[in-house]
């Protein structure tokens, strides 16, 4: 990393140090952060995602909010699920459900001996260390071998979003051999002050297990969100991960996966909807470290107004990963002359017998199609909405939960709703 050591910024160092937790493993992650430092403008990986607004915030840990102070039911998606609720970086036992066939351990109850998996990262960076060091809210979810969780586990995170308030979450999912589980991770912030959400969810999908994970990012227009999801697959395992970045001022999300057992299969999908002057930066890293594995990736950005969208993905194929089948596609739409998208799919292959490909396209809505629909009585904004839905539906239809799918498609309507009133 090209950033300066954290100690060079005395004010920022003091603010973050106050939020570091007391456990041994979290203090170790803080020391790693202090060594590598936060990225700056000279870091190529952060070229399109400036951190100036984040570094200028008066950072502090968000104050405790009693459950009765927050109308969490109105913010919930109303899923038929087992719901675990988090307020301002803290797990709420009172508002959460009991989950049969799963063991739930709050983060503060995890011992240093049991924290081995929490310290691991497929592609570590400064914000991995920062999230680990400061996290006070989170759970360890364990599903025993051959157990199937019959409903999704819904992780609802509600942040007040006051200026400078930091909410930090660390989750880990451990699926035993042949187990199955679906996680829906949802982040919502309320106020427009400009807070910070740090989130990290890692998962170990053991032999023959099946794991589904959807992340919904619906932050306020001033909230900063830095997220990381790691998925490790063992032999014959299956995983599908989807990241829906729907709103926020600055959203940076890293989705990393590692296929470490033969015959693994993973799908990694994302949809980003930046607007106004917001920046959404989505990155993936996929390591093929075993033979006979398949990976499919589909990533889309719809950028509006003066927004910036970023996608960068890497497929790494190790020498032992013969007969790998890896595909990564990135497609982008720009709504307006001032929106920008930067995309960079990459392959790094060290095996001979592989079938890997990547592709990227960027463009605008087809004006001929819009004119065709308007000639048949369809308003301009409705025609745009129909085309946008068609573009986004390829990702949305991959979502496992139908209610989540409808929710995402409704946000596409919201993206152009302001234009309808002008017609």
| Cα–Cα distance, 94 to 64 (Å, whole number) | 14
**Residues 182, 35 share a domain:** yes
290: left (phi over 0), alpha (psi -120 to 50) or beta: beta
Query: Domain range holding 187?
Result: 6-261
Spatial CA neighbour of 313 closest among 260, 268, 261: 268
Angle at alpha carbon of residue 26, lines to 24 and 27, rounded to 5°: 65
Q: pLDDT tens, 314-355?
A: 999 999 999 999 999 999 999 988 999 999 999 999 999 999
Question: Which of 206, 231, 261 lies at the terminal end of a domain, its last residue?
Answer: 261
Number of compact structural domains in the chain = 2
Task: Please tell me the predicted confidence (pLDDT) of residue 40.
Answer: 86
Question: Which of 221, 243, 261 lies at the terminal end of a domain, its last residue?
Answer: 261
- On whether the CB atoms of residues 212 and 183 are closer than 8 A, the answer is yes
- On whether the CB atoms of residues 143 and 113 are closer than 8 A, the answer is no
In a domain, 79, yes or no: yes
Q: What is the pTM of this model?
A: 0.94
Q: pLDDT tens, 138-179?
A: 999 999 999 999 999 999 999 999 999 999 999 999 999 999
In a domain, 185, yes or no: yes
- On whether the CB atoms of residues 167 and 175 are closer than 8 A, the answer is no
Handedness of CA 41, 45, 49, 51 (dihedral sign): negative
CA dihedral 185, 181, 297, 39 (to 10 degrees): 40
| Cα–Cα distance, 295 to 211 (Å, whole number) | 14
């Amino acid at each position: 990393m090209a950033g300066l050591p954290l100690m060079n910024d005395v004010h920022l160092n003091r603010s973050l140090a106050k939020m570091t937790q007391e456990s041994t493993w979290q203090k170790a992650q803080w020391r790693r952060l202090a060594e590598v430092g936060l990225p700056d403008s000279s870091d190529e990986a952060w070229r399109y995602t400036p951190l100036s607004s984040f570094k200028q915030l008066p950072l502090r840990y968000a104050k405790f909010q009693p459950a009765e102070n927050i109308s969490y039911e109105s913010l919930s998606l109303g899923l038929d699920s087992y719901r675990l609720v988090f307020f301002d970086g803290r797990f709420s036992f009172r508002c959460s459900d009991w989950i049969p066939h799963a063991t739930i351990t709050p983060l503060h109850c995890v011992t240093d001996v049991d924290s081995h998996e929490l310290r691991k990262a497929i592609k570590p960076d400064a914000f991995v260390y920062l999230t680990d060091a400061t996290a006070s809210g989170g759970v360890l979810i364990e599903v025993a071998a051959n157990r199937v969780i019959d409903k999704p586990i819904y992780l609802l995170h509600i942040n007040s979003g006051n200026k400078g308030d930091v909410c930090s979450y660390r989750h880990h999912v451990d699926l035993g051999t042949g187990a199955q589980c679906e996680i829906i991770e949802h982040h919502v912030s309320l106020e427009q002050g400009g807070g910070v959400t740090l989130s990290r969810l890692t998962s170990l999908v053991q032999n023959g297990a099946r794991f589904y994970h959807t992340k919904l990012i619906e932050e306020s227009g001033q909230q900063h969100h830095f997220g990381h999801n790691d998925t490790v697959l063992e032999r014959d395992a299956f995983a599908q991960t989807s990241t829906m970045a729907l709103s926020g001022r600055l959203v940076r999300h890293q989705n990393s996966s590692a296929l470490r057992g033969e015959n693994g299969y993973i799908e990694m999908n994302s949809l980003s909807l930046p607007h106004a002057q917001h920046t959404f930066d989505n990155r993936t890293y996929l390591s093929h470290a075993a033979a006979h594995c398949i990976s499919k990736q589909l990533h889309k950005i719809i950028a509006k107004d003066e927004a910036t969208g970023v996608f960068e993905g890497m497929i790494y194929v190790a020498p032992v990963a013969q007969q790998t089948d890896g595909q990564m596609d990135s497609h982008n739409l720009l709504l307006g002359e001032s929106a920008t998208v930067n995309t960079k799919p990459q392959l790094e292959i060290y095996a001979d017998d592989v079938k890997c490909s990547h592709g990227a396209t960027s463009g605008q809505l087809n004006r001929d199609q819009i004119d065709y629909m308007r000639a048949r009585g369809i308003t301009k904004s409705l025609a745009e909405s129909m085309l946008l839905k068609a573009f986004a539906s390829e990702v949305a239809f991959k979502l496992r939960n139908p209610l989540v799918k409808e929710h995402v498609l409704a946000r596409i309507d919201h993206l152009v709703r302001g234009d309808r009133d002008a017609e």
